[in-house]
């Protein structure tokens, strides 16, 4: 279902643009927004006709105990633009029951269409996400940061 949704969104807008929703706390305040959700809503309204997906980075919300703002952002996108998928950039990875809880967080709590995961500890760390077959799982394989090869080549 996720792949179909992202393909339809890409085709409808003739775009591969994915907009990150990583609100810097200082900018949100400086621009006079009282919540991250308001800030994000402005970005979504300005870009919804040219994006194929939105990708909030969970750390920007959880570091400041603003998970409700993330929930509100995702709910707003799904209400106003249900055809645009939301990819939660979480890069989650853990084993056993913890991985199951992470999958619940992403798909049940935040209702994301897809999630980024880190497979460093093995396939069993991403299997709980794959069990949600209607959702997408984007596996981090290679990054462009300078330390990308520090632990793996």
The answer to whether 84 touches 50, Cβ cutoff 8 Å, is: no
What is the tally of structural domains in the chain? 1
Lowest mean pLDDT among 8-22, 30-44, 133-147: 133-147
**Dist CA 12 CA 7 (whole Å):** 8
We report the CATH number of the domain holding residue 124 as: 3.20.20.70
In a domain, 144, yes or no: no
Nearest to 9 by CA among 72, 70, 82, 77: 82
The answer as to whether 146 is a domain residue is no
Structure confidence at residue 126 as a pLDDT band (50, 70, 90): very high
| Structural domain includes residue 116 | yes
Residue 148 lies in a domain: no
Residue 134 lies in a domain: yes
Query: Residue 33: which domain range?
Result: 2-139
> Active site residue: 55, 66, 91, 142, which one?
91
Domain assignment of residue 123, yes or no: yes
66 is catalytic: no
- pTM of the shown model: 0.94
| Mean per-residue pLDDT of the chain | 95
144-153 confidence digits (pLDDT tens): 888 888 876 5
Tens of pLDDT along 49-90? 999 999 999 999 999 999 999 999 999 999 999 999 999 999
């Amino acid at each position: 279902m996720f792949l179909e949704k992202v393909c339809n969104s890409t085709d409808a807008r003739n775009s591969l643009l994915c907009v990150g929703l990583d609100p810097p706390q200082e900018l949100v305040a400086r621009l006079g927004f009282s919540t991250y959700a308001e800030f994000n809503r402005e970005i979504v309204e300005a870009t919804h006709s040219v994006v194929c997906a939105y990708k909030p980075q969970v750390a920007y919300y959880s570091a400041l105990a603003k998970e409700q703002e993330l929930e509100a952002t995702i709910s707003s996108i799904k209400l106003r633009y249900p055809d645009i998928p939301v990819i939660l950039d979480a890069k989650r990875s853990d084993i056993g029951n913890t991985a199951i809880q992470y999958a619940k967080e992403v798909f049940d709590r935040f209702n994301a269409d897809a999630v980024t995961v880190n497979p460093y500890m093995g396939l069993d760390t991403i299997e709980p996400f794959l069990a949600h077959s209607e959702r997408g799982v984007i596996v981090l394989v290679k990054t462009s940061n300078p330390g990308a090869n520090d632990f793996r080549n």
